[in-house]
Structure 1
């Protein structure tokens, strides 16, 4: 099921100067299925003692791939970028666009845009379910306290779910399940790299074979 950007379950919205160029999420369809099978909650896979914990529901899993880049600054960018995408997914899973961890790792247009996307999802009575995977994450440019991260998202096993009934809205896999993202990251005075802008391309060919 195609959910462009971030974890698996957001609805598409048009481009906006106030947020990601495209916000999509859990793929959904008009056909409802039973509850998703349980999966262990995901947590940040990082040895950093200060790494946040992401207490996802049992049926939500977030996989963030790619190890250290070998450069201390790029490693920090990718670490905090991983926390940012996990916090977005948590916001959808908990139907809460104002989580502390979301505000810690996102700011500016990205925070405003993702908050709007979560609010819209909540208004539709939906949350998320399933597994979303982020991979091929790479720092493609860096100048001072600003960096760009390009990465892929696989929403093949990610779905929207009706919050009240727990019914999962399943769809058939499609090329739109693979999304290519570009995140702009900016370092704060506290040393955190925050996602401040995001754009994406749904159905990206370069992400569909990984």
Structure 2
């Protein structure tokens, strides 16, 4: 899986310093796979359908197909507010994966969890896959989440994505391409989030740094 580098914003520069000085991380090492209910077989269309809990916004239910799975290790925190950031940050990443699989740069799931610079970056990234007629297959391991809350109440979430078992697939020829042997398959996502009036932690800035994490 190859991807363009996303630019670091001023907000992310400040957030990086915040996380380096005082960050919280997931408590348990839950390595459960998101096989997400309703997942179809190879060639099936993944979907996002509305769901809601009492007193919360109607979050899209992001479902990944069996052809591409994501596992999230250690995405637990004893602080409910930090856990809410982890939960919405996790769904945002799944929505990004799903948008590529569905060939939908303007995915409702992405737009629900993402705005501002992060939305522009994500839609451009997904469009690159669509323009090249590429899909995602295989697995991604998402681990080492680091979450904190700024003095102004904003959220900061860094995490690592191991793409060594993920592949870019040509939709026509089905030819698969992995990360080259001389390229580090692990990226660090660096994001900042803002809570909406409906209680959703919306990702507003985003950068990916290849080699920013240990495998």
Give the structure-1-normalised TM-score.
Answer: 0.73
Q: Go from structure 1 to structure 2 and tell me whether the alpha carbon gap of 1:166 and 1:54 turns closer, same or farther (over 3 Å shift).
A: farther
Q: Which residue does 2:120 correspond to in 1?
A: 112
Match of 2:142 among 134, 149, 153: 134
Structure 1: segments with no counterpart, 5+ residues: 1-8, 22-39
Q: Which residue does 2:27 correspond to in 1?
A: none
> How far does the alpha carbon of each residue in 1:128-154 deviate from its partner, in whole angstroms, 9 at most, with x for none?
111011111121342344111111110
Q: Which residue does 1:207 correspond to in 2?
A: 214
Higher relative contact order (CA 8 A, sep 6+): 1
Match of 1:149 among 133, 157, 172: 157
* Contact 1:147 1:186 (8 Å CA) reproduced: yes
Larger CA deviation: 63-72 vs 85-94: 63-72
Give the structure-2-normalised TM-score.
Answer: 0.72
Aligned residue pairs total 176
Structure 2: segments with no counterpart, 5+ residues: 14-32, 38-51
Q: Classify the secondary structure of the residue corresponding to 1:194.
A: strand
Q: Classify the secondary structure of the residue corresponding to 1:77.
A: helix
Asked whether 1:97 is paired with 2:89, we answer: no
Larger CA deviation: 63-72 vs 89-98: 63-72
Asked whether 1:191 is paired with 2:184, we answer: no
Task: Quote how far apart the aligned CAs of 1:16 are.
Answer: 7.7
Match of 2:167 among 159, 174, 193: 159
* Contact 1:80 1:192 (8 Å CA) reproduced: yes
* Contact 1:179 1:200 (8 Å CA) reproduced: yes
Match of 1:124 among 132, 137, 153: 132
Q: Go from structure 1 to structure 2 and tell me whether the alpha carbon gap of 1:175 and 1:168 turns closer, same or farther (over 3 Å shift).
A: closer
RMSD, aligned CA: 2.7
* Contact 1:43 1:53 (8 Å CA) reproduced: no
> How far does the alpha carbon of each residue in 1:86-125 deviate from its partner, in whole angstroms, 9 at most, with x for none?
1111111111112211111111111111101111111111
Task: Quote how far apart the aligned CAs of 1:67 are.
Answer: 3.6
